[in-house]
């Protein structure tokens, strides 16, 4: 994806290269844990959150010395939660490599995630954020934890749309929002624009998650995993939540979640869900969110940086 | 232990009561994770680290509004690492209650620990620490992770004395040190005294850990667990490291660590270790550390607060 950035967003692509250097420099490779964390964090990823920090900072007066540490802190927090998620999910691969815990056991994975959280605190210190900004970021991490836990504890049950929304905002939306508004803060944009950046990020993060849900059902290998994996794990995604408005479908889905799950039943359920039109409705919700992102971006001072933010919106078109 | 404080350190005991209120107020009980974290953090513990923050802050001009958040942040970090340690160790009890992961599974335990780390970040924000102090605390948490990991990865092997020392400083010493010097910072004591407080905490933390090692071997139920548990888990404590200077003992210990571990062999090993005089030598190391604490405290401006710090030293007499 970084190559794609180079063409469409040259200024951003250039900063993202410096970001990679900064990140590498921030992770020593002395002890085993340090080496592990370094490999995990420098081993790739779409760098969406750092790109949002940088592009948002560019909407104001860009300050590299504070933007890169914030971008790195947020990416490191995100990577730390992925490491811990893998412990929890028992996922066997992550970013096409074997997940850490399958290589080294839960022990190392938990310590490595904690170490990364501590590292991100060190980077945050370098950003010299005021109390309110620090507090906001802390709340975002809390929301990621409570959001993930809520999804885990509520697995194999069909959540309502509002619960679903709260979860995806906690899981993804709020960190996107913190990336955008934090970037805006560092770029010293007006407070009202920082708020707009927050809402832009929130909607973008929700869109990102909804798109993920669509990809899981659309039998599309863009997500790099077979159809319906979430449901096999007891996670009920948006299209299935919407399809559950139909009480017969709901009963069938509850039966699937409560009983033995097999591939045949899964296939049947998904094709039934498709027939209810819930995919189109999900796509409509995604579109509405993306449109909302566009109109928020239109209210920001217009520059290359706002065009970059709009690029991210376009990338999430289903 | 708090009752004990009330008699010997009335000013500190009074602040520790306010500390409990602050802690309780800082932990909401809305979601499942929040409730769990609240129960864990308000459910007791010796409050040694908060007491050190407060006593150290009292060596200067005490500022409750910043001392209590720092004390709470450090105690919360400590509690978070305990929750994660339990996931890792598979410990079934903690502070005489069933460990969290045995009640709710690893999932909730990992999320709860992460949530607590995020909460501690929020409390830290309230302390308005400068970059250097924040960085120092971040490094301490990193050291806890790398120290714990080093112990885990090196289990069932006999470490050298230097490795042992590095581990206990990482695991316990540095957080004690951060508590003392952080308290001193908030009390606005002179920089040279902050440094002395750091070293005081470091030595005190090391003493705490060495005493723990002694209790594990001394067949003493003060530690609340049967003799030699650490060794059964493949953790080689100080008395056994010292006894391993004897090559016959070392060979026997290596055999134990590499083979089937049973209670009879364990008993034999421990009684052999006793005969080598390694307990006395460990006690001597503890005494030397405690004496060093006392002489550092003597170099601080003398007040009730320094007397309190000395009380903590006395409590660790074996």
For the segment A217-235, the average pLDDT, to the nearest whole number, is: 74
Q: What percent of chain A has pLDDT over 90?
A: 71
Q: Which two tokens stand for residue A84?
A: 């811990």
CA distances from B311 to B5, B58, B221 (A): 9, 14, 22
Task: Return the minimum-mean-pLDDT range out of A78-82, A106-110, A311-315, B311-315.
Answer: A106-110
Question: Which of A106, A126, A135 faces B88 most closely, judged by CB atoms?
Answer: A106
Instruction: Give the nearest chain B residue to A34 (CA atoms).
Output: B146
Each residue of B69-99: pLDDT tens digit? 999 999 999 999 999 987 766 565 666 666 6
Please give the pLDDT value at position A213.
Answer: 94
Tell whether B117 is within 8 A of chain A (Cβ): yes
Q: Which residues contact A65 (CB under 8 A, 6 or more apart)?
A: none
Q: Is A70 helix (H, G, I), strand (E, B) or coil?
A: helix
Confidence category of residue A8, pLDDT binned at 50, 70, 90: confident
Return the CATH number of A1-128, one of 1.10.3720.10, 1.10.240.10, 3.40.190.10, 1.10.600.10: 1.10.600.10
pLDDT of B225 over the 80 cut: no
Closest CA relative to residue A259, chosen from A229, A234, A282, A286: A234
Residue B157 per-residue DSSP state: S
More confident residue, A293 or A225: A293
Please give the pLDDT value at position B229.
Answer: 87
Instruction: Give the nearest chain A residue to B31 (CA atoms).
Output: A146
Confidence category of residue A203, pLDDT binned at 50, 70, 90: very high
Task: Return the minimum-mean-pLDDT range out of A5-14, A257-266, B101-110, B201-210.
Answer: B101-110
Helices (H) and strands (E) in chain B, counts: 16, 2
b/e sequence B240-262, b meaning 16+ C-beta within 10 Å: bbbbbebeebeebbeebbeeebe
CA distances from B142 to A37, A113, A279 (A): 11, 10, 45
Please give the pLDDT value at position B103.
Answer: 61
Tell whether B114 is within 8 A of chain A (Cβ): yes
User: What phi, psi does A184 have (nearest 5°)?
Assistant: -60, -40
Q: Where are the domain boundaries for CATH 1.10.600.10 in chain A?
A: 1-128, 143-300
Distance, CA of A238 to CA of B140 (rounded, Å): 42
Strand partners of residue A98: A93
Distance, CA of A11 to CA of A7 (rounded, Å): 10
Cβ(A55)–Cβ(A185) below 8 Å: no
Please give the pLDDT value at position A298.
Answer: 97
Q: Is A295 helix (H, G, I), strand (E, B) or coil?
A: helix
Please give the pLDDT value at position B44.
Answer: 80
Distance, CA of B217 to CA of B228 (rounded, Å): 5
For the segment B114-133, the average pLDDT, to the nearest whole number, is: 91
Q: What percent of chain B has pLDDT over 70?
A: 91
Q: Which residues contact B276 (CB under 8 A, 6 or more apart)?
A: B242, B243, B245, B246, B249
The residue of A26, A33, A66 whose CB has the most chain B CBs within 10 angstroms, and thus the best one to mutate to test that interface, is A33
Q: Which residues of A touch B112 (CB under 8 A)?
A: 145, 149
pLDDT of B224 over the 80 cut: no
Distance, CA of A202 to CA of A170 (rounded, Å): 9
Tell whether A107 is within 8 A of chain B (Cβ): yes
ipTM, 2 dp: 0.87
**Whole-number average pLDDT of chain B:** 90
Distance, CA of A151 to CA of A130 (rounded, Å): 32
Strands (E), chain A: 93-94, 97-98
Tell whether A155 is within 8 A of chain B (Cβ): no
Q: Is B97 helix (H, G, I), strand (E, B) or coil?
A: strand
pLDDT of A87 over the 90 cut: no
Q: Residues, chain B, total?
A: 318
pLDDT of A258 over the 60 cut: yes
Please give the pLDDT value at position A92.
Answer: 60
Q: Is A133 helix (H, G, I), strand (E, B) or coil?
A: helix
State in Å, rounded, how far the first CA of chain B is from the last one: 17
Please give the pLDDT value at position B10.
Answer: 87
The DSSP annotation for B227-252 comes to: TTHHHHTT---HHHHHHTTSHHHHHH
pLDDT of A90 over the 70 cut: no
Q: Which residues of A touch B80 (CB under 8 A)?
A: 114
Return the CATH number of A143-300, one of 1.20.1530.20, 1.10.600.10, 1.10.540.10, 3.40.50.720: 1.10.600.10
The residue of B145, B152, B174, B175 whose CB has the most chain A CBs within 10 angstroms, and thus the best one to mutate to test that interface, is B145
Tell whether A31 is within 8 A of chain B (Cβ): yes
pLDDT of B222 over the 80 cut: no
Each residue of A142-199: pLDDT tens digit? 999 988 888 888 889 999 999 999 999 998 999 999 999 999 999 999 999 999 999 9
Q: Which two tokens stand for residue A277?
A: 């039109």
CA distances from B249 to A230, B23, B68, B214, B255 (A): 55, 48, 48, 18, 10
pTM for the model stands at: 0.89
Q: Which residues of B touch A111 (CB under 8 A)?
A: 84, 88, 145-146, 148-149, 152
Strand partners of residue B97: B94
State in Å, rounded, how far the first CA of chain A is from the last one: 17
């Amino acid at each position: 994806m970084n190559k794609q950035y180079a063409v469409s967003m040259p200024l951003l692509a250039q900063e993202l290269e410096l970001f990679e250097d900064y990140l590498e420099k921030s992770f020593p490779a002395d002890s085993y844990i340090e080496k592990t964390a370094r490999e995990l964090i420098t081993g790739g990823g779409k760098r969406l959150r750092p790109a949002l920090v940088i592009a948002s900072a560019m909407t104001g007066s860009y300050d590299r010395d504070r933007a890169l540490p914030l971008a790195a802190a947020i990416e490191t927090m995100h990577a730390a939660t992925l490491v811990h998620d893998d412990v929890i999910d028992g996922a066997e691969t992550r970013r096409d490599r074997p997940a850490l815990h399958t290589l080294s056991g839960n022990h190392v994975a938990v310590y490595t995630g904690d170490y990364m959280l501590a590292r991100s605190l060190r980077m945050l210190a370098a950003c010299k954020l005021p109390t309110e900004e620090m507090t906001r970021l802390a709340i975002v991490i809390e929301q990621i934890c409570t959001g993930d836990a809520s999804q885990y504890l509520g697995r194999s049950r069909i959540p309502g749309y509002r619960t679903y929304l709260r979860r995806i905002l906690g899981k993804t939306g709020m960190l996107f929002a913190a990336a955008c508004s934090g970037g805006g803060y560092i770029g010293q944009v007006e407070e009202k624009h920082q708020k707009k950046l927050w809402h832009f990020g929130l909607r973008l993060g929700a869109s990102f998650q909804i798109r993920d849900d669509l990809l899981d059902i659309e039998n599309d290998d863009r997500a790099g995993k077979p159809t319906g994996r979430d449901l096999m794990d007891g996670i009920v995604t948006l299209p299935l939540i919407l399809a559950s408005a139909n009480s017969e479908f709901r009963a069938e889905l509850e039966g699937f979640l409560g009983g033995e799950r097999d591939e045949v039943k899964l296939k049947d359920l998904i094709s039934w869900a498709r027939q209810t039109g819930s995919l189109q409705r999900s796509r409509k919700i995604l579109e509405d969110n993306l449109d909302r992102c566009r109109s928020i971006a239109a209210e920001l001072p217009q520059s290359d940086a706002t065009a970059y933010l709009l690029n991210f919106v376009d990338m999430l078109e289903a």
